[in-house]
Amino acid sequence: MLQESILQKLQPKESRYDLSDRDGLWVRVYPSGVISFHYRYRLHGKLERVILGKYPDISLKKARTYCAHARTRVAEGVSPAAEKQRKKLQGKLHQQSETIKDLADEWMSRYVERERKRPDIARSILDSNVIPSLGKKKCTEVTRRDVIQMLDKIVDRGARAMANRTMSVTKQMLQFGVDRGILTSNVCADLKKKSVGGVEKRRERNLSFKEIKDFWAKIEEFPTYKSVPIALKLLLVTAQRRGEIAAAEWSHIDLRAKKLWTIPAANSKNGKEHLVPLSPIAIELFRRLKRLAGKSRFVMPSPQIIKLLESASPAANSSAENATAQESDKHFTERAITKAVERHLTKIGMAHWTPHDLRRTASTQLAKLGVSPHVKEKILNHALPPMMAVYDHHDYMDERRTALNQLADKVLKLSKTDDAVLEKMDRESMLNSPRVI
C-alpha cells in the first residue's frame, strides 16, 4: 500500500512503471517525471481505467477519496471513464461554443433556406425577438429561464401569438444545434404554449360593410410604400394571401388574354399551383403595381428598390433601375406588409385588423353573395371535403371568375354607398339578416 512519503521519493525511469495502492487505485510514473493516479475496474465484463489526477496536484488522500466515489459509480452501473469524457466534451463546448447568433445563421443557411418555402418568416422572428435578447450568449450558456424571460417580454407587449411562434422557432433552432453537435440538449424541448402565450383562439375578425368602405377610401392615405396599399386592395378583391402577392412575379400575371394570376406551387401555402381569375378592378390594381415596379421581375420589389423608384429625382430613378437589376431576386416579405399595416393602423379609424383579415372578409362577402361553398373553397385554394375531392375534379373556373367579378363589383359599390345605409346593413347583418346590394 502506498504512503505519501513513498510518492515523494518516486523517481522516473527509462520506461514508465506502475505501483499499486488498494481498491483498484494505482499510480503511474512516466519517464518525464509526471506521476498520475489511476483507478482500474471492471464494468459489464469489460476492463476499464480512468485517470483521477496528477500528483502532487492532488494528494494520496484525495486520490483515495476520488477512487471511492468512482467505485460507487461503478456499483451503480456507470462508467467513470465515460462520465469523465462526457464532462470533458461539455467543457470544450462551453469554451468554444458558438453564440446563439451563430447558431441562428447556421440554422437558416443549412436548413431553413433550403427546406422551407418561406424562410423569411423564421428570419423575421429571429431578427426581431431571439437575436436581440439571446444573440450574444454562448449556446451552451443559454438556460430555459433565459428563453422564458425572452418570451415573457413578448407577451407583456400584448403579442401572445408572436410569443408562441417565437417559442416554436427557438425550439426548432436549439434542436438543430443538438443534431449538429453544438449542444448536448435542448433546454426548451418540452416547453408548451400554455406556459408561454397560452392556447390561441381562432381569429374571427372580418370587416363590416362600413369598414370595407373606409378601408377602400383611406388605405392609400397610408404614409408608407405606395405598393403596399394597392397590394392590400388586391388581397380584398382576390381573396388571396399576403405571402402570395409579396412573392408574385410578372411572369405569373396575364392581364390581357387570359386575365389570370397563376400562383405557382412554390408560392402557395398548400404546395399546389393555384389560378386566380382577375376582375377588371384587380387588373387595374396590378397595372398600377406594374408602374411602381419598374424593371423588377417582382410585383412587389424589395422596399429598398421601391424607395428609390418613388423618389422624384431623375438621378435616383436611374439608380433605382440599376439597383433593380442587381437585386432582382429580392421582393417584399409578408412580414413587411403586416408591419406597414401595424405602423399606421389608426389612419383608417377602425378597430384592429391585419392583412389576413382581408382574406376572411372576402370569403365572408362571397358567402353573402350566395357563392356556393365549393366554389368559394376553390377561390381560397382550400382542399375540398374528402369525398368531393375524390369524385369532383372540375376546376369551376367560370364560376370562380363570376364570383370574383361579383366580389369586386360589390366592394366598389360599397365604397360609394352612404354611411347611414351601410350602418343599417351592418345592424341587419348582426341580426342574421344579411342584405346583398
Integer angstrom CA distances of residue 316 from 294, 298, 313, 322 = 13, 20, 5, 10
CB count within 10 Å of CB 80 equals 23
Q: How many Cβ atoms sit within 10 Å of the Cβ of residue 351? A: 10
What confidence tens digit (pLDDT) does each residue in 6-37 have?
A: 999 999 999 999 999 999 999 999 999 999 99
d(CA 324, CA 296): 6
User: What is the distance between the alpha carbons of residues 7 and 287, in angstroms, rounded to a whole number?
Assistant: 91
**Mean pLDDT per segment of 10 residues, for the chain of length 437 residues?**
90 92 92 93 90 92 93 91 79 65 93 85 91 92 92 88 91 94 89 76 81 91 85 96 93 96 90 94 96 90 69 52 55 85 78 89 94 94 77 87 96 93 86 53
Q: Answer whether 242's CB lies under 8 Å from 334's CB.
A: yes
CATH of domain 209-430: 1.10.443.10
Q: Is the dihedral of CA 334, 339, 345, 347 positive or negative?
A: negative
Check: CB of residue 184 under 8 Å from CB of residue 178: yes
Q: What is the pTM of this model?
A: 0.63
Kindly report, residue by residue over 327-383, the tens digit of the pLDDT: 456 888 888 888 888 887 777 777 788 899 999 999 999 999 999 999 999 999 988
What pLDDT shows up at residue 314?
Answer: 52
Domain boundaries, the chain: 4-94, 100-195, 209-430
Q: Which long-range contacts (CB under 8 A, 24 or more apart) does 67-71 make?
A: 67/23, 67/24, 67/25, 67/37, 67/39, 68/23, 70/39, 70/41, 71/23, 71/24, 71/39, 71/41
Cβ atoms 120, 128 nearer than 8 A: no
**Residue 213 near residue 349, CB atoms below 8 Å:** no
Domain spanning 100-195: CATH 1.10.150.130: yes
The CATH homologous superfamily of the domain defined by 4-94: Integrase, DNA-binding domain (3.30.160.390)
Residue that has been written with the C-alpha cell 456499483 in this structure: 75
Distance CA 277, CA 259 (A): 6
